[in-house]
Amino acid sequence: MDAFVRMYRPHAAREDTVLFPAFRKLVKAREYAELGEQFEDKEDALFGRGGFDDVVGQVAELETAVGIYQLAQFTPA
């Protein structure tokens, strides 16, 4: 898990600070909006009308049921 976190943090940081801003500059505002609509349509097709938010809620319920929802219990002080 430590290796994953070590890899993922810089990866996510580059997405937020380099990749996504560059992508926004490459596509026109209208194209960007259309892509957003396409992603929402795909989300509805995959996850149903409630979309991603419903799935996140289901995951939280499962995590609570097995006792791993409170991440603070796993986070070093």
Which of these, 77, 26, 61, lies nearest to 69 by C-alpha position? 61
The tens digit of pLDDT for each residue in 19-38 reads: 999 999 999 999 999 999 99
Contacts (Cβ under 8 Å, ≥6 apart) of 40: 51
Contacts (Cβ under 8 Å, ≥6 apart) of 45: none
What are the boundaries of each domain within the chain?
Answer: 2-73
What pLDDT score does 2 carry? 86
pTM above 0.85, yes or no: no
